[in-house]
Amino acid sequence: MKKTVTLSLLSTLLLSNLNAQVIELEPLTIESTPLQNNELNSPDAVEIYTSEDINNAHVQTLSEFIQKNTSLTTMPSFGNPFTPLLDMRGYGIENGNENIVIRLNGRKLNNIDNVPQLLASIPPSSIERLEILKGSGIVQNGDGANAGVINIITKNSNNKEISLALGSQSSSNINLYLGHSSDLLSLSLAADFIKTDGTRRIDNNNKTDEQKMGNVAFNLALTPRDDLEVRFGVAKTNIDSFYGSYLTLDEYRADPSQPGATNFGYTHQKYKTTTFSTGLTYDITNTLNIQADYSNEKKKSEFLGSFPSTSNYNYDNFSTSINYGTDNFHLITGFEGFRGNRDGYGGDIDKNNYAGYMLAQYKFEQHTLKAGYRYERVFYKQDQTTTDNTKDYTLHGAELSYNYKINKENSIFFSYARSYQAPSIDRLLVYVFPTGGVFKNFLEPMKADTYTLGYNNFTINNKFKASVFYSDLKNEFYFYTGPGGSFDPASKNTNIDESNKYGVELYDRLNITEKWNLALTYTYVRAKIDKEVENGVDLGGNTLPGVPKHSAKATLNYQANEYTTLALVQTYRSEAFALNDTQNNFDQRQEKYYTTDISITYAKKTYEVFAKLNNLFDHSNGLWVSDDAIYPTNFRTTFLTGVKLKF
């Protein structure tokens, strides 16, 4: 019966999440840059989600929204739900994070090592816009923007709201947002607190994968004059997380909630971050302004238990730009600097980036033309008692893109980007007894040439986007797994000599009637290794692991009356090769991922009540690393119900 009902629901697979209320689907403006483009005249492929989209999804974390509502793929990082793995445009679920630049109000969230961005530190209730640029963004964002860029913009409004949600496994979630905005002063306080007992046992004493997290962010902006804005901010995150290890296939089939008998045991991690930021914008004239920002982030990641370790991070971000803009012409020139330090495995290690860039855009009649160039230098240094290793790279990035607006409803665009990625510090480290991790593995930087051709069609009841892309890569990073597994002496971080990626991306959002609406995200992606020989094994012609061919996400909304909305959500990904299977010869593959969610919302002007069932049909999902190494995720039905008060 379960399979029959599930198959019937797959008819809604060509859908994705949207607002339940019938509104005219006008092109949204891209707010993360001063170029004044919208979805219709943008020369780049873009997805935009608003605070209303995020609110209607009733998610507990930002990564949950990305997983169920955007074209990206995301999974918990080897069991850790707070630093999710991401993939966009076929870079693979294991390495995709390194190829996506994520910015929060302009501050870069990417790490200097292989640890994914801490998306859980951003309360969903604080987000005003989520903008995803696909295959572009290297000029303004630099190192790592191969697949694209995710820009997160927080609220700056007079909204005041508090929400409380309770669910299965003793889950609870409190969200608070308090905002004030006037001509002189804007300030906001956002906080969320999450606690759950978890869904899986992680040892034989019935301990579960419990999670605790608290986020607090305060932002202040002063406008003492019409031509000057001064900004200050502080944010803190505390995480206490337990998560289980891998299971064999037999264990996963028998009971994905069990701890497993042959793995390394569970992980206990404590993660603390504190970020201070400041900046200003000064309008020199009506067409010319200067913007400068600085932030300092201190992080401590502590692993407790059988394999204890501690890493302390200190990041300094500083940027300045001069922006000139008229109705038809924009010119942005800027300088960015980043100083990153990790004191942990490998000793005291620095990765510093310094870059200058120029980006110009010209609009005339129905045409939009954009071009830019970025020059970046990357410096590495490792200090130990027995070694003092340094390395540096010089990198060049460029963009050229064009949009032709056929009429008020249709446009076509083409974009080209020459992007790059310098290796993370973890990829340069090799274990040397008894010293530990030493810089010995100086890999070549990765480079990519990406071409995108797209079409947009917008009417008041339908928003349709389509794009095809091709990426030609040199020196793509990957972890080669030797014949004996990850701990084989032949296993190492290295480069793929030549590789390519291509695919199709579709998005559709449709108001069917006054009561029914739907949306679509579908992607088809192929990621191939063209030329690579490692340890005598020819990998040419193989498929990059962790990249599904097909991904689709769906929501069907029914507005029963003025206040009540029902939503049915379906998420699907096809199978892929397991993460370590670069030779494409493992017995087991990453299985298909799918889940069905259903929710009901009753919303009035001052309050909102909702109830939600996740994974309605109790389908087991997991992350395959290799044969008999599976991290179960989203493998049982859970529920969440809550109330939001608006002031």
Distance set, CA 133 to CA 20, 171, 175, 272, 388 (Å): 25, 34, 28, 29, 39
Is residue 186's pLDDT more than 90? yes
Given pLDDT bands bounded at 50, 70 and 90, which one contains residue 490?
A: confident
Q: How far apart are CA 526 and CA 211, in angstroms?
A: 36
C-alpha closest to that of 632 among 251, 65, 205 = 251
Q: How far apart are CA 450 and CA 414, in angstroms?
A: 11
Residues in the chain: 647
Q: Fold for 2-646, please state it.
A: Maltoporin; Chain A (2.40.170)
CB neighbour class for 172 (10 Å; exposed up to 12, middle 13-18, buried from 19): middle
Amino acid at 401: S
Q: What pLDDT does residue 264 have?
A: 86
Q: How far apart are CA 186 and CA 217, in angstroms?
A: 14
Q: What number is the average pLDDT over the span 456-469?
A: 96
Q: How far apart are CA 553 and CA 71, in angstroms?
A: 8
Percent of the chain whose predicted confidence (pLDDT) is above 70: 95
For 257, the enclosing helix (H) or strand (E) is none
Which residues are paired to 603 by β-bridges?
Answer: 608
Q: What pLDDT does residue 88 have?
A: 97
For 53, the enclosing helix (H) or strand (E) is helix 51-57
DSSP-derived 3-state class of residue 67: helix
Q: What is the pLDDT of residues 11-62, one digit of tens each?
A: 333 333 333 344 567 899 999 999 999 999 999 999 999 999 998 888 889 9
Distance set, CA 143 to CA 423, 477, 486 (Å): 9, 14, 27
Q: What pLDDT does residue 439 have?
A: 84
Q: How far apart are CA 244 and CA 195, in angstroms?
A: 17
Q: What number is the average pLDDT over the span 167-176?
A: 94
Q: Which tokens hold the place of 298?
A: 């201190």
Delimit the domains of the chain by residue range: 2-646
Given pLDDT bands bounded at 50, 70 and 90, which one contains residue 374?
A: very high
Q: How far apart are CA 32 and CA 52, in angstroms?
A: 18
Q: What pLDDT does residue 435 have?
A: 67
Q: How many CB atoms lie within 10 A of CB 578?
A: 25
Q: What number is the average pLDDT over the span 438-450?
A: 92
Going through 440-489 in order, the beta strands assigned E by DSSP cover: 446-458, 462-480
Judged by average pLDDT, the poorest of 285-294, 299-308, 368-377, 528-537 is 299-308
Q: How far apart are CA 314 and CA 175, in angstroms?
A: 28
| C-alpha torsion sign, points 143, 146, 147, 152 | positive
Is-contact 315 275, C-beta < 8 A?
Answer: no
C-alpha torsion 528→532→536→539, nearest 10: 10
Amino acid at 326: T
C-alpha closest to that of 278 among 317, 323, 239 = 317
Is-contact 376 334, C-beta < 8 A?
Answer: no
Q: What is the pLDDT of residues 96-132, one digit of tens each?
A: 999 999 999 999 999 999 999 999 899 998 999 999 9
Is-contact 553 570, C-beta < 8 A?
Answer: yes
Q: What is the pLDDT of residues 395-408, one digit of tens each?
A: 999 999 999 999 99
Q: Which tokens hold the place of 214?
A: 């608290």
Q: What pLDDT does residue 103 have?
A: 96
Going through 345-366 in order, the beta strands assigned E by DSSP cover: 347-364
The model's pTM is 0.94
